[in-house]
Each structure stands twice: as C-alpha cells, then as structure tokens.
Amino acid sequence: MTPARRLPTRMVAKVWGRDHLPAPFAAPEGERIGEIWFEPPPELPQVLVKYLFTSEKLSVQVHPSDMQALPGEAGKEECWLVLDADPDARLAIGFEREVGSAEIEAAAQDGTIEGLLTWHSARAGDLFYLPAGTVHAIGPGLSLVEVQQNSDTTFRLYDYGRPRELHLERGLAVAQGVPYAEEHRGSVAARGQALIDGPHFRLDRVEGAPDAATHAAFAGALLALPLVGAVVSRDGAARAGAGECLYAGSLASLDFSGAEVTLLVRAGQVRAA
C-alpha cells in the first residue's frame, strides 16, 4: 500500500468564478477562480473532488453516462454538497415538466431554457446527486464541494451569450427532458453521515473520528478532506487541514484526533468502461 499523501491542487479560472475566495483559499491576483481540483491519484483514478465558487451562473449543461461517452471520454455523474450560500442562491436541476428534444433545442437556441428548468433554493448542508443526463446549472453565490466521476466531459446547451463553445448536438443526444427526482435531493441534517452511496462514488461526512461502520465502509483507498480541523497519517508523514485533501490506502492509516468535520470519498462498485 502506498503511503498517505496530500494531493496536489489545481486552480481553474472560470468566467463565473470569484476574484476573492473564502479562507483558507486565495485567488491569485487578477484571476477569477471557479474551481479547485484535487488531482486524482493513480491509486484512485475513478473520482475527482473539486471545490466550486460561483459569482455568476454556470452554463446550462449536461453530462453523458459511461455508456454514452465516446472513446477517450468518460461519463460524469456528480454530486454537490453546499458549504455556503447567499440567501437567494439557487441551482437549476431538471425540468419543470416533461419536455421533448425539439423543445429543449429551441429553448437552448433562444435562451428560454433557463425558464424551463426547476430552480432549487440552496442552503449550507444541502446535497444534490446528479445522474448522467440531468440538465443543470449552478447559480451565483454558492460555495460547494463537487464529487464526480473523474471526467471532464461537459456538453453546454446554453451559456447566456458568453463566447464559449456550445455542444448542442451531443448535449441533446443525452439530455433527459424530465423533472429532477426528489430522491436525489438530500441534506446533511436528513442523511447524517453517509451522504451518497452510489455506483461511482461514496461520500461520507464524519464529525470527529470515524466509527466502526465507517471503517467497514472505507476499507480500501480513499480521499479525506477536512472541512474543520486536520487529518494526519499515522506514520506522521502526511497532514491535511481545511481546504486540503489526503489520499490514503485505508481509513485505518489515518489519525482523526485533530479532526472536527471531514469528508471521506471512495470509488463506487462500477468501474469506468
């Protein structure tokens, strides 16, 4: 088993990102940072974890499943755990009513697609799981952790006239014109510790040290992201504080005595095609 180590981060500038990030993050002078990625380690290549910080809307977009992805691409299911939200922050997931492909296409072209989507209010602790094919957009004023399949395959349907590439044809081929299923929405208050146990990844939120059930659920390779406090490897070689991410070969190799709130992530049972 390779020793635990802190993962390198990658800051990604986005038109919808922020000039000023909440502590402990800091955007380089003059850069509008939207995403902070933790580079997936070779021992756990299936999942990618990012922080997202918005000041404007993301594109209206959709991702393919593994089955729909072309060679060289990967499917992308994702979930969002909201960390902080402006009082009026919202995100769009799914349609208000069933819509056909022709209607989605026309609405993407004339910009009315925003009005066809369901805009959900978002507060700290809210949780949203997005199966592939779910049309979505994240609104301004949100800080969240995104756990996703390790894939960068995004099809933009509409981008508010911003000069970025659209992928209408491929997006329409995978977009599901249906309302968002309520079962995919949750919260820390309602779900407690085990937040998502899906085909592609598992996400837990642990306060203090993990209990026996969590140890059983995280027997193999995992990522530990402290939100409050710090996690260290028992050999003392690696440490992560808030805003950082540790890779470890097993949960048992980590010491949580300085941890207050930590996210744990591991791969699910389905391997990318």
Ligand X SMILES: O=P(O)(O)OC[C@H]1O[C@](O)(CO)[C@@H](O)[C@@H]1O
E strand or H helix at 109: helix 101-110
Site string for ligand X, 61-90 (x = CB under 6 A): x-----------------------------
Cα angle value 220/194/266 (rounded, 5°): 25
Please report how close the Cβ of residue 93 comes to ligand X at its closest, in angstroms. 10
Contacts with ligand X by CB under 6 A: the residue count is 11
Q: Name the minimum Å distance from CB 56 to ligand X.
A: 9
Among 4, 58, 144, 174, binds ligand X (CB under 6 A): 58
Residue keyed to tokens 């959709």: 62
Nearer to ligand X, 46 or 148 (CB): 148
Residue 122 structure tokens:
């978002």
Give me the DSSP letters along 111-137: TTHHHHEEEEE--TTEEEEE-TT--EE
Q: How far is it, in rounded angstroms, from Cα 14 to Cα 12?
A: 6
Using CB under 6 A as the binding rule, the residues of this chain from 118 to 137 that contact ligand X are 136
The span of 2-10, 81-89, 99-107, 148-156 binding ligand X (CB under 6 A) equals: 148-156
Catalytic residue chosen out of the listed positions 156, 170, 202, 266: 156
Contact (Cβ atoms closer than 8 angstroms) between residue 128 and residue 32: no
Selected from 146, 158, 186, 205, the binder of ligand X by CB under 6 A is 146
Per CB under 6 A, 253 contacts ligand X: no
Q: Which one of the spans 57-65, 102-110, 191-199, 243-251 is the region binding ligand X (CB under 6 A)? A: 57-65
Q: Is residue 154 within the footprint of ligand X (CB under 6 A)? A: yes
The SS3 of residue 147 is strand
Build a one-symbol-per-residue string for 18-37: x at contacts with ligand X by CB under 6 A, - elsewhere.
Answer: -----------------x--
Least distance to ligand X, CB of residue 156, Å = 5
Binding test (CB under 6 A) with ligand X, winner from 46, 54, 59, 176: 59
Gap between the Cα atoms of 175 and 107, Å rounded: 13
CB atoms within 10 A of CB 266: 20
Q: For every residue of 24-75, which 3-state class applies, written as one string?
A: CCCCCCCCCEEEEEECCCCCCCCEEEEEEECCCCCCEEECCCCCCCCCCCCC
Contact between 233 and ligand X by CB under 6 A: the answer reads no
Measured between alpha carbons, how far is residue 10 from residues 37, 52, 115 in Å?
A: 5, 12, 34
Shortest approach of ligand X to residue 204 CB, angstroms?
21
Residues at the contact surface with ligand X, assessed by CB under 6 A: 14, 35, 58-59, 61, 136, 138, 146, 148, 154, 156
Q: Which residues are catalytic?
A: 156
